[in-house]
Each structure stands twice: as structure tokens, then as C-alpha cells.
Amino acid sequence: MKIFRLWLLVAALVSVQQTVWGQQFALEHTYSKPITRIKLINGEEKYCQYDYPLTSKEVNIYNANHTLRKTITLSPPEGYSPLTIQSITQTTINSDTLLEIMYHCLDSAYIGTSSILKYRLIIANENGDSLFETAGINSKIDTTDGLAAKLFVYSSSVLAPTATVYDLPSLNYEAQYNNYYIKRKKLNLFGEKYFTNDYSTAIPTALIYNADHSLWKTITLVPPNNSYTINPWTFTISDNEFNADSLIEIACAYTNTTTNINGAKIANELGATLWSYDYGQIPITIKDGATQKIMTLGYNASTGEYTNSHFYNLSDFMFDHLIQGIVKPIYSPNVGLKYSVFNSTAKKITFYNPSDYSIWKNVNLPVPAGQYLNYGTGFEPKVNIGVLNSSNNAEILYSYYNNNTYIHTIRIINDNGVELFKTDSTYFASISNENSLTTKILTSGNAKYQVFGIDTTLTTTKSSISLSDKIDLYPSPAQTYLTLSNPENIALQSLKVMSATGATIQALVPTSTKINVSHLPTGTYFLVGQTTKGQVIRKTFIKE
């Protein structure tokens, strides 16, 4: 409760040309179909809307203000039906300014049958002109590690799977690999490489190729002993990521054939083991100033799940610390590196300092009685620091649902418990700020797809003053009534109660001193007033 009272005082600050701490979001637009957000080369923001599957064969492009810019009709080959949009770009495929739509289609004769399906990849511009076409069930534009863009196309053949690489923007054929699992990486010492595995050999072998696709190295993936088998699909390569020499390092997973428990190891190209753990996943390196660690997730044999995080010193591979829970490293320019751990049972997220593993902050995730916290795949809480505003606060996006109606509620709170955003009757939400676009919140579910933007009614560009010592609002949290204290009789021309999403809940008489809040649902609200001089005051209160 002390935290809420402290926030109540701070939130009354009025600023010039600046969004206040705890900025809120208001609904901009509701779409009836899924959308993606893109940025054109001239900086313009666009929204792309289309069906899944693409039964209408139409892609609608909307402007930043959500007015329709253009409807693009797809023209798949005769006998094929469009299925999925893979990407919408502008200058990736060629240098003109027309939008490029990459989509997959399926031979109509095979729809609804159990036969081997026939898929094709089509790339067309917004005028309907075909730019590229080939067989393929899936594709991606690869820019791993900032490397030049390449187009990967994956065949639909089960018996002879292939991955074909094309140059961009020329779309010239470069190479074809004989399995799907081709990966790309920029090594610190040796530059661009492609790597995959040779699963036809008795002992799995890593195949590493140069940028021109010529074979560079063949490295055998050796298990710890005869009790283990290597998982040939799960490995990655590096050069001086784990130590300073120039030998290639292979991080791979293996399985105990008796216990069926997975482990992981790091070895160099000569076969020397640098690190291994029989109950872990392939580790990641964490490098941030003095923090130089290896982290792996630990397997709990009794529960059959990964339940803790193990840290090792990168300098000598010695064990350093264990944190209960699955650690997700998170970085912010304002506060540096932190470790976050979500505890679904306790309904909280704990942040740790990486230097000594001390707790930085604990944040509870409030869930109303009769509601259930979402934490399954795709519903895990998402954590940021200082993304929705420029503060040092952690921001947590999470959701809960009613087990009877299955109505989902999505909330964003900061680490002081202040609600920044809330919406009902949806399933998923994401914070969108790709390519330096203005931060928006996109939600989807229940046959609606919504865009929320920063609510400009909760910011001010008027003259700057601080009213924190002149206006007071109490108690907070409140159950029935709030008292507004205005001892200096600051003249208000408007006064209203607003929700956390920026909607006006109630217009009040500007001279009100007693405000009835008994009818409000539990949550965080704003009392927003404007003085006769055009200054805006803002007070936050909690309704119990």
C-alpha cells in the first residue's frame, strides 16, 4: 500500500513535450482479420490485413490512421489456391518502392486429400506482377547476425527434403542442401558460414560450408560415451565464443539411451570437451561487462521438466550459481543486464542482478478471484524494461482467464504494480515497435484484432508546473469515496475519471471534492483535470 501512495504523489507531475511516467494506451482501431505492421522506406507506417487461410485472395493495406490505402488481389497459378502470407516487404526482393508479397499456395486438387501435397512459393508486387515462383512448402528471408539477406526455400518432399538458397535481391540460385536443417551464422573470426548435419552416417557429422557454399569443415559429433547418442538436429557452431583460440566450437545435445534424459556439451573441432552437463540444454553465453557466464537449463528427472538455471564461469567453465526457475536474460540501456524468472505458482516475476545474483525486484502478478493465470505456450508473461516509457521500470505483460467463460484479460503493469494497460475479451497481445516505429500494443482473439496507441489525452504540451504539493487525492486504494483536496483553489475547467486504457469513465463537476468510486471495478484509474490556464493535472488512484 505504501508503494501505491508513493506513486500517487509522483503521478501528479505535469511535463512539457514529454509522456509522463506510467503513460497509458487508448484503442486506435479494431480490424476483423489478422494484421501485420510494416515500415516503408520513406518511414511511413502501414498495416497489412489478410485471411488465414487466404480464401479471399486479398491483402488490404491500411495507412497509419487506419484508412484503406490499397487492396491487392493475389493471382496464384491456375489450379492453385493461396494458403499463407510468408512476408510483406518493400525493397528486399528488388529496389523499386512497390510492396512485395511472398505467399505459399497449394494445388487445389490435393486440398482435403491425404496425398503428398504440392506447394508453391509465389512472390508478386502490389500491382500483381510475378517476381518469382518455385516449388516449396515453406520459406524465410534470412538476415542472421546482420548478414546480407538470403531467401531460403524448403521443399515439400518427405522422401527428399531440401533447402535451397537464393541471393537477394537478385533472386539468383546459389545452392541446394539435402535437408531442411541448414543454418547460417557469422563467426567472429571466419565470417559467414552455413552449417547442417550428415544424418546418413552412423555417427552424426557437422558439415560447415563457406559463404560460397563450398565445404569448409567436417566435424564428428562425439557423444560422452557409449551410453549416449547425439541429437543430430540440435547443435550450433562458434569460434571464439567460449574460449580465445581459433578452433571451431560445437555445442550439441545428447540423450542417455538408458534414462532417456537429455544432456549437453561443448567441444572443439579436435574433439576435446570444454564443458558438459548430463541434465542440461545447449548453453548460451552471457557477456555484459564483468559478467561473463555460460547458462544452461537444468532437467528435473522427478517432474520431467526443466526447472532451474545453472551458471558457469566462462573463464574456466566452473560452476558458479543455481537459480530456481527458468532464467531469461533481459537488457535495458537504462539499468543494464538483469535476469528474470517467472514463478507460475507464486504468480510473480523475480529480477536478479547478474553480478552477485541478488534480487533486484519482486513483482506480483495480481489475478482476481475466480480467474486463472495464463502461462502455457504462447501465454507466458512477457518482460521488458523501459520500453513503454523511458523510465527504469520493468514492464510485465500477462493474462488471466475465467474458467467458465474462457474470457481472457490482458494486463501490463510496471514493477510498482501500476497498471499501464488492460483489455478484455481477447487472447494474445504483443508490444510492437519494430524498425523504430512508434510503440503500439497489438491484440488478437475473439474475432477482433486491435491496435492501441499512446493516449495523447494523458500527455500535455502546455506550460510545465508541478502540482504534486497543491492537489491531493485520498485514500488510495479506495473502496467507496475519494476526497480531492485543493487548498490553493486552483481553478479547474474540467475533471474526469479515466480508465487505464484511456476511456472516459465519468465526467465530474470541476469543483468536486468528494468522488464516488464505489461502482468502479477493481483496478487502476486516472483522475484528469485541466486548469483554466490550460495546464493538465493527473492523479492515479487504486480502486479496491
Does residue 48 register a pLDDT over 70?
yes
Q: Comparing C-alpha atoms, which of 72, 66, 71 is closest to residue 30?
A: 66
Winning range, highest mean pLDDT, from 10-14, 77-81, 258-262, 367-371: 367-371
**Cell 540501456 sits on residue:** 333
Answer whether 194's CB lies under 8 Å from 207's CB: no
Asked if 420 and 521 touch (Cβ cutoff 8 Å), the reply is no
The Cβ of residue 69 has, within 10 Å, a number of other Cβ atoms equal to: 16
CA trace torsion 34, 107, 124, 61 (10° rounding): -20
The residue written with cell numbers 560450408 in the block is: 209
Residue pLDDT, tens place only, 53-72:
778 889 999 999 999 999 99
* pLDDT bracket for residue 210 (50, 70, 90): very high
| pLDDT category of residue 496 using cuts at 50, 70 and 90 | confident
Grid coordinates of 218? 567436417
Cis amide linkage into residue 521, ω under 30° from 0: no
Are 445 and 427 in contact by the 8 Å Cβ rule? The answer is yes
Task: Give pLDDT tens digits for 370-410.
Answer: 899 998 877 889 998 888 876 788 999 999 998 887 778 99
**Under 8 Å CB-to-CB from 136, ≥6 apart: which residues?**
104, 119, 120, 121, 153, 154, 155, 156, 164
Counting beta carbons within 10 angstroms of the beta carbon of residue 252, is it exposed (0 to 12), middle (13 to 18) or buried (19 or more)?
buried
CA 220 to chain centre: 35
Average pLDDT, the chain: 84
Q: What pLDDT is stored for residue 468 in this prediction?
A: 42
C-alpha cell belonging to residue 63: 495507412
Q: What DSSP assignment string belongs to 3-16?
A: HHHHHHHHTTB--S
CB atoms within 10 A of CB 255: 17
> For residues 246 and 189, is the Cβ–Cβ distance under 8 A?
yes
Residue 342 contacts by C-beta under 8 Å, 6 or more apart in sequence?
325, 326, 328, 348, 349, 375, 380, 381, 383
Q: Report whether pLDDT(338) > 90.
A: yes
Q: Kindly tell me the number of DSSP H helices and DSSP E strands found in the chain.
A: 1, 44
How many Cα atoms occupy the beta-carbon half-sphere of 5 within 13 Å?
4
Q: How confident is the model over 438-492, as pLDDT tens digits?
A: 889 999 987 889 999 876 555 443 333 344 447 788 888 888 888 888 877 888 8
Tens digits of residue pLDDT in 88-104: 999 999 889 999 999 99
Burial zone of 453 (CB within 10 Å; 0-12 exposed, 13-18 middle, 19+ buried) = middle
What's the pLDDT tens digit per position in 242-269? Answer: 989 999 999 988 888 787 788 899 999 9
Predicted confidence at residue 329, as pLDDT, reads: 94
Give me the torsion for CA of 420, 426, 431, 437, rounded to 10°: -110
Q: How many CB atoms lie within 10 A of CB 482?
A: 22
Sign of the alpha-carbon torsion through 83, 87, 92, 94: positive
* Distance separating alpha carbons of residues 82 and 102, to the nearest angstrom: 11
pTM of the entire predicted model: 0.76
